[in-house]
A and B are shown apart, each in its own frame.
Chain A
Amino acid sequence: MRMMPPEFMVKISDSCIKCKRCINECSFGALRFENDRVVADHDKCAACHRCTAFCPAHAITVEKFPAIFKDNYLWSQDVLKSLWKQSESGAKILTGAGNDKPYPVFWDKMLLDACQVTNPSIDPLREPMELRTYLGKKPDKLEFWQDKKGDIKLTTVMEPQIKLETPIIFAGMSYGAVSLNVQLILAGAARELGTIMNTGEGGLPQELSEYKDHIVVQCASGRFGINLSYLNSCAAIEIKIGQGAKPGIGGHLPGEKVTEEISRTRRIPSGTDAISPAPHHDIYSIEDLRQLIYALKEATRYKKPVGVKIAAVHNVAAIASGVVRAGADMITIDGFRGGTGAAPQVIRDHVGIPIELALARVDEQLRREGIRHMASIIASGGIRQSADVLKAIALGADAVAIGTAALVSMGCHLCQKCHTGLCAWGIATQKPELIKRLNVEEGIKRLVNMIKAWNLEIKEILGALGVNSIESLRGSRERLRGVDMDEVYLDVLGIKPAGR
């Protein structure tokens, strides 16, 4: 019994030249040629806009299917559609991308400061602006020694650091969730920009080996593709405990996505489910986490920084303190708006907390305990633009990780069908005919351009703030003011209201 009207409606105007390009481009099978014209199956349209972008005659428009429901704030169309889908399938609803529900976005409730009269701003066009960032454990103190010639030398032994030319890194996205071309673009762009990408938990495809100095490899609960060469082919290792889009649950790459290539990279037979258990079964406590951190350090002879990624959850500050005390060199906090290749909708939309609040609390807690220098903080989960980066750094992040924004630069239109493996833009798919749509060289160029643009904007704001390095803004909450927020949130964020 059919209950659901389509979500979108595809209109094909008279200017259609019947070239059938749209039919070839639509990976969801929503278009066909019948009776000498292009016909749409509205039910299958994902609003990915591949057809509208490629129609030479601009003859296609995708619209929302006209609302036919009586207005109801409580029983929204989304709710009804979910109930019908569950009634049909008896299964939990799977979704992709990130939480799209109208929870508050605190980035948009914070404003940055600028200099006027009493302290001069700096012109970034004429003066050097430093975006260089080092990730890793910093020493408690620095000790020096003066030799007979009078030269001063550092005697403190530094822990391994990752040198970045921008405070923006690429978030973990596994080969399996995204295509090989996506990872090649991330790796190529990371090398060109002087930053790092993250393999996610799907192992390291051999095609990426030349980029190893710009790669963070993940050790997640499934331990896919992990061997000594993997652990040594990287700039750093990250233990993935959680992910903002799906805190508290594991990962699950369905068998049909485990192709020959994925199978080789993950070191599992093709066609079988790749299951990442919810917890690491060697980690049931902070002490156990410490044991794995040091197992990885031992396995790499203390040459690689080891980070830990956790989802932003209610007690994130206390957990982060434990993670840092466990010996993590970096801690990534992933907020509830972070993206995913696939997650149950109920988890994606209802679990976790905003990164802005989590980040502020973690930074404050670590400072209060005097351990902030022991680990770098990386904030992620819904960073959309350079302003978000600046605000995150002012709230205490050392760097931010972007996933969705990087994919958008490659062509992602946020249709949220990542979990279907049918991505028309060649991003979240393993189908060879779709992957080849994503040109690696062009993708690198676009992503490099986007980050360069963000870097320019960040420098512009730093200049307006009257500082000449990103380091000077780090944790400087005095340069943020809140609008449209009550006192509790201002307190959690540790910022003043605008006007004060």
Chain B
Amino acid sequence: MKIDAKGLNYRELNERIHDAVSNGVEEIDLVNVLGQRYIGTGLDREVTLNIYGTPGSDLGAFMDGPIINVFGSGQDDIGNTMNGGSIIIHGDAGNVAGLSMRTGKIFIKGSVGYRAGIHMKAYQDQCPVMVVGGRAGDFLGEYMAGGKLILLGIFKKEKDPVAGRYIATGMHGGVIYVRGGVNKNQVGKDVAVEEVDNEEKAEIKSEVEEFCRHFGITRIDDIMASPFVKLLPKSSRPYGKLYAY
């Protein structure tokens, strides 16, 4: 099914998507998307949305199940508090991608803005994953409480650092893998930077393979040839000693 988003405001567009999904449509092509917010927000079925254009903020917020392919770039708050499904962005993403996401995967071919992956959480077998192909802005993985963030730094200028300042500030769970390593002075003070062992490298590889499959990238071995570091919280209770009772 195809919906032409031209001239539709977000509420009309999303109403059509919800109507189609409740009528059992399993795949929708959305063309001429231009900044409409909340596409896929609140959808709880395993449908596929193919977005041509630039979707607005809160793409896939609170969603649980859909696969969203964006053939273009995304704006802010992609996958906000999402609970399941996948979001695949073939361009760049704005700020706060994956805020508080709990399950599901976000793949961004290019770069992300500030605060990507902030406060991601895991619980039992629910583990959110975000893979970023380019670079990330400041505060990557801030307050991170769980899940996996993989930053590849493959689509960026050689001299640009792979991430901005204050990486993982306040991190108290989960793991961030950075290809090529980070400067320690970019990292939050309660975060440990460690080598990645072979077992973990295999885990990273399986995510990178999925990333490459989405974007038609074939040089997986090249990507994996670079060393990775992992960022971990030194404590699951970074603020435990601040209070007197």
Q: How far apart sit A203 and B75, CA to CA, in the bound complex (Å)? A: 28
- B62→A299 contact, CB < 8 A: yes
Chain B contacts of A296 at CB under 8 A? Answer: 62
> Which listed residue, A86, A223, A294, A298, touches B100 by the CB 8 Å rule?
A223
- Output the residue of A222, A255, A267 with the most chain B CB within 10 A: A267
- A88→B145 contact, CB < 8 A: no
- Output the residue of A88, A226, A281 with the most chain B CB within 10 A: A281
Q: How far apart sit A222 and B102, CA to CA, in the bound complex (Å)? A: 12
- B244→A231 contact, CB < 8 A: no
Chain B contacts of A226 at CB under 8 A? Answer: 62, 81, 100
Q: B118 near A: Cβ within 8 Å?
A: yes
- A263→B123 contact, CB < 8 A: yes
- Output the residue of A268, A269, A295 with the most chain B CB within 10 A: A295
- B240→A273 contact, CB < 8 A: yes
Of the candidate stretches A90-98, A185-193, A394-402, A451-459, the one touching chain B is A90-98
Of the candidate stretches B34-42, B180-188, B223-231, the one touching chain A is B34-42
Chain B contacts of A93 at CB under 8 A? Answer: 243-244
Q: B1 near A: Cβ within 8 Å?
A: no
Q: A291 near B: Cβ within 8 Å?
A: yes
- B81→A273 contact, CB < 8 A: no
Name the interface residues of A20-56: CB closer than 8 Å to any CB of B: none
- A273→B121 contact, CB < 8 A: no
* Contact count A vs B, C-beta below 8 Å: 127
> Which listed residue, A254, A269, A299, A344, touches B146 by the CB 8 Å rule?
A269
Name the interface residues of A263-297: CB closer than 8 Å to any CB of B: 263, 267-269, 271-273, 275, 277, 281-282, 291-292, 294-296
Q: B209 near A: Cβ within 8 Å?
A: no
- B80→A282 contact, CB < 8 A: yes
Q: A89 near B: Cβ within 8 Å?
A: yes
Chain A contacts of B100 at CB under 8 A? Answer: 222-223, 226
Name the interface residues of B105-156: CB closer than 8 Å to any CB of A: 115, 118-119, 121-123, 126, 142-143, 145-146
* Known A231-B62, A267-B102, A267-B123; contact A299-B241, beta-carbon cutoff 8 A: no
- B176: min CB distance to chain A, Å: 17
> Which listed residue, A86, A89, A94, A298, touches B41 by the CB 8 Å rule?
A298
Chain A contacts of B62 at CB under 8 A? Answer: 226-228, 231, 295-296, 299
* Known A91-B241, A228-B62; contact A295-B80, beta-carbon cutoff 8 A: yes
- B37→A294 contact, CB < 8 A: yes
> Which listed residue, A228, A267, A295, A419, touches B38 by the CB 8 Å rule?
A295
Q: B44 near A: Cβ within 8 Å?
A: yes
> How many B residues have CB within 8 A of the partner chain?
48
Q: A384 near B: Cβ within 8 Å?
A: no
* Known A227-B102, A281-B119, A298-B14; contact A94-B243, beta-carbon cutoff 8 A: yes
- B77→A291 contact, CB < 8 A: yes
Closest to A300 in B: B42
Q: How far apart sit A446 and B149, CA to CA, in the bound complex (Å)? A: 50
- A366: min CB distance to chain B, Å: 25
Closest to A95 in B: B245
Chain B contacts of A252 at CB under 8 A? Answer: 239
Chain A contacts of B96 at CB under 8 A? Answer: 281-282
Chain A contacts of B99 at CB under 8 A? Answer: 223, 281-282
Q: How far apart sit A255 and B58, CA to CA, in the bound complex (Å)? A: 31
Chain A contacts of B243 at CB under 8 A? Answer: 91-94, 254, 344
Q: How far apart sit A255 and B188, CA to CA, in the bound complex (Å)? A: 21
- A266: min CB distance to chain B, Å: 8
- Output the residue of A89, A263, A298 with the most chain B CB within 10 A: A298
> Which listed residue, B18, B83, B172, touches A301 by the CB 8 Å rule?
B18
- B119→A91 contact, CB < 8 A: no
Closest to B139 in A: A281
Q: A469 near B: Cβ within 8 Å?
A: no
Q: How far apart sit A344 and B57, CA to CA, in the bound complex (Å)? A: 35
11 additional A-B residue pairs with CB within 8 Å, beyond A254-B243, A268-B146: A94-B244, A223-B100, A223-B119, A231-B42, A255-B236, A267-B102, A292-B58, A294-B37, A295-B38, A298-B11, A419-B245
**Pairs A-B, 10 closest by C-beta atoms:** A299-B42, A223-B100, A89-B244, A91-B244, A94-B243, A298-B38, A299-B62, A267-B123, A272-B236, A227-B83
12 examples of A-B residue contacts, CB within 8 angstroms: A94-B243, A228-B64, A254-B243, A267-B123, A269-B236, A273-B172, A273-B236, A273-B239, A294-B37, A295-B80, A299-B42, A419-B245
